[in-house]
Amino acid sequence: MPNLLTTIKQLKIEKGALPFSVYTSIKEQKLLSVPIAKPLLIVVLSGDKVLGTHDKVACHSGDFIFLSDSPAIDMRNIPKNQEYFALLVEFDHQDFRGLPVNLASKTNYFVGKTIPLL
């Protein structure tokens, strides 16, 4: 994880437009009713992200969460001993054409560990 964090910071300095965004914060943030317009992959590289207010979902450093589009979601970005730092990759709906759809699943997110294959 530290190597990926260092690489991303270096790319942000050297390059202009990149196919991803980064989000950082040195203080805890409480974001309310954040609209998710397109499917979004968030890789937490430093700190924690907590989604929701009642049924909370936590992503720690080294975790990712994949969010489907949704009208609004509450979230907290929590630095831990250093800045909160996350990599964000937004997808278009057409990126998923041809993939099987599981209509039985009602989950608007998927959480997992970030591994080198990802």
How many Å apart are CA 38 and CA 21, to the nearest integer? 14
Q: What is the pLDDT of residue 48?
A: 96
The DSSP call for residue 95 is: G
Q: Which domains does the chain have, with CATH numbers?
A: 2-93+105-113 (2.60.120.10)
From 16-25, 41-50, 86-95, the region with the lowest mean pLDDT: 16-25
Amino acid at 44: V
Are 49 and 72 within 8 A, CB to CB? no
Q: With 70 as the cut, is the pLDDT of residue 30 above it? A: yes
- Residue 35, φ and ψ in degrees, nearest 5: -75, 140
How many Å apart are CA 66 and CA 89, to the nearest integer? 9
How many Å apart are CA 93 and CA 37, to the nearest integer? 10
The residues that bridge with 82 in the sheet, in sequence order, are none
pLDDT tens digits along 36-90 = 999 999 999 999 999 988 878 999 999 999 998 888 899 999 998 889 999 999 9
pTM (2 d.p.):
0.82
Q: With 70 as the cut, is the pLDDT of residue 99 above it? A: yes
Instruction: Give the mean pLDDT of 7-31.
Output: 79
Q: With 70 as the cut, is the pLDDT of residue 12 above it? A: no
How many Å apart are CA 113 and CA 62, to the nearest integer? 6
Q: What is the pLDDT of residue 43?
A: 95
Structure tokens at 2: 């530290």
